[in-house]
Structure 1
């Protein structure tokens, strides 16, 4: 997860949960209009809207320890957290 860079926003990761086409469309809409813009505003990612490419932003290392902790303990977290 942390080593994947860059990522195309069209690759929507839903984990092991099954989603309908409608749910995937809703999740993609939320990512494009809410989550990605916020992450970009905070400098955690750089998002090229033209190429749909997401890369690590200048402030990514600020959240890296948190993301590493989540990955390391993912089996202890509620299923809907990931």
Structure 2
């Protein structure tokens, strides 16, 4: 384990995405409105902006994901196995 591992898991959005990938590969990078409206709320827009400009690029740089920006598809990256056991532990403990 290295600093990238802890950094990747430090933020809830990154941790949730990695846990989701553990269960189901691939994932959709998009965010849908929680209110059912076709327009995102301000809070949802901030979440989406953070995901696209901070979290996804960081996880991709670490090699934990591969992100296709055109299709919004995320798959496990070449370094995903480095954090698999830690993700399994987090999932088993119900930590998010």
| Shared fold per TM-score greater than 0.5 | yes
Q: TM-score, normalization: structure 2?
A: 0.65
More helix by share: 2
Q: Secondary structure at the match of 1:72?
A: helix
Q: Superposition RMSD on alpha carbons, in Å?
A: 1.9
Aligned ranges 1:23-34 → 2 under 5 Å: 23-34=43-54
Aligned residues: 70
Q: TM-score, normalization: structure 1?
A: 0.75
Aligned ranges 1:1-80 → 2 under 5 Å: 1=20, 2-11=22-31, 21-74=41-94, 77=95
Runs of 4+ with deviation above 2 angstroms? none
Gaps spanning 5+ residues in structure 2: where? Answer: 1-19, 35-39
Gaps spanning 5+ residues in structure 1: where? Answer: 15-19
